[in-house]
Amino acid sequence: MSVKIYHNPRCSKSRQTLQLLVENGVQAEVVEYLKTPPTIEELDTILTLLDMQPRELMRKNEAEYKATGMNAPDLDRDALIAGMVNAPKLIERPIVLANGKAAVGRPPENVLAIL
């Protein structure tokens, strides 16, 4: 089973989710998404797997949300995805991909359903 976690080591929920994977014997590919953001195509696929719209996966309380103009109500899906790739801090974390599915680790136990 191939498992990938989009991880931010400074985030407690992300650390807890990674620890939960380890405790369940899962060896995941760890992608520190602030250093290596997903591509537009990857993020589009992740959103599809999560059955979410871009704003649902955005951290709207981050200063970058307004500073980058992502709060503009007229932005379409492509513009929002591009904005998240350009400002990855806006992407909710952690995201785990496994078995052709995706889950946001908030709470961390959410990811167990896709393993």
- Hey, which residues are catalytic here? 11
β-bridge partners, 104: 95
For residue 97, give the nearest of 23, 22, 10, 21 by alpha carbon. Answer: 21
Distance CA(53)–CA(47), nearest Å, equals 6
For residue 103, give the nearest of 93, 92, 115, 111 by alpha carbon. Answer: 111
Query: C-alpha angle with apex 36: 100 to 49, nearest 5 degrees?
Result: 20
Query: C-alpha angle with apex 63: 4 to 88, nearest 5 degrees?
Result: 25
